[in-house]
Amino acid sequence: MKLSGAKVLITGASSGIGAATARAMAAAGADLVLAGRDRTRLEAVAAETGGRAVVCDLAAQPRVLAERAGPVDVLVNNAGVGWSGPFARMSQETLQHLVAVNLIAPIRLTQLLLPGMIDAGRGHVVFVASIAGVIGVGREAVYSATKAGLITFAEALRHELRDFSGVGVSVLLPGVVDTPFFERRGTPYTRRAPAPIPPERVANAIVAAIRYERPESYVPGWLRLPARLRGAAPGPFRALMRFFG
């Protein structure tokens, strides 16, 4: 799909992967609508990229965002939140918030904007998921579940649209990315490996997924190995997970 002149809506665009994606899309010549809750950061990214900032709470106001954005050619569902800790100690409010932001909001926003793409006979929807949604991560059970739901929804929607609509669907599965995500979830990333990758690497993968109609992209690419091992040999996979923690 050609991005030059395309109208692209990016959620969670005030920092991290969203801000990096805005810069990559601007370099490709896209017309940007940038959504987020942090007005100061969002307007700074909009000024840098020539985009239009829409400040809103996506989980509470998906229809407001869809109306303010108007018809779009590309939707990048990037906004997400995390939480790390024992599931048994997770509050109901936190659980509901993760499900609302990470799963329900992108599905609902897609539902609101997809008819315009179908009517136009072209478009692309991107879901930024996580490798956690494929392999499951201890102390991040609900986060992993929301990302798994997003991956499955993207796959099902791709099958539904594939033969007649002209609308592509891509899902991105990043690993550890150097963004404020870990700071905001309240638990820093302390592992020596894998090392966090820059958000620009994920942003470039998003652009490539749209341009070349790639259904699924792992960033970095070696993450395909544990994902495939889990499906092909679940016993050895779980043994390795226990060994490496």
Please tell me the distance from the alpha carbon of residue 196 to that of residue 92, in angstroms, as a whole number.
30
Tens-place pLDDT, residues 174-224: 999 998 888 787 787 887 778 999 999 999 999 999 999 999 999 999 999
Please tell me the distance from the alpha carbon of residue 161 to that of residue 158, in angstroms, as a whole number.
5
245 pLDDT exceeds 70?
no
Tens-place pLDDT, residues 95-145: 999 999 999 999 999 999 999 999 999 999 999 999 999 999 999 999 999
Give pLDDT, residue 12: 98
- For residue 227, is it within any domain? yes
143 is catalytic: yes
Query: What pTM was estimated for this model as a whole?
Result: 0.95
Can you spell out the DSSP letters for 177-233? BSSTHHHHHT-----SSSPPBPHHHHHHHHHHHHHTT-SEEEESGGGHHHHHHHHH-
Residue ranges making up the domain that contains 90: 7-244
Domain count, the chain: 1
Tokens found for residue 105: 């909001």
Domain with 115 in it: what CATH number? 3.40.50.720
Give pLDDT, residue 95: 98
- For residue 1, is it within any domain? no
Give pLDDT, residue 119: 96
Exactly one of 143, 189, 212, 218 is catalytic; which is it? 143
163 pLDDT exceeds 80?
yes
For residues 25-33, give the mean pLDDT: 98
Q: Identify which of 37-46, 157-166, 225-234 has the greatest average pLDDT.
A: 37-46
Please tell me the distance from the alpha carbon of residue 229 to that of residue 239, in angstroms, as a whole number.
11
Task: Report percent pLDDT > 90 for the chain.
Answer: 86
For residues 152-174, give the mean pLDDT: 95
Residues forming beta bridges with residue 74, ordered by sequence position: 8, 124
Give pLDDT, residue 202: 98
235 pLDDT exceeds 70?
yes
- For residue 2, is it within any domain? no
For residues 138-159, give the mean pLDDT: 97
Give pLDDT, residue 190: 80
- For residue 139, is it within any domain? yes
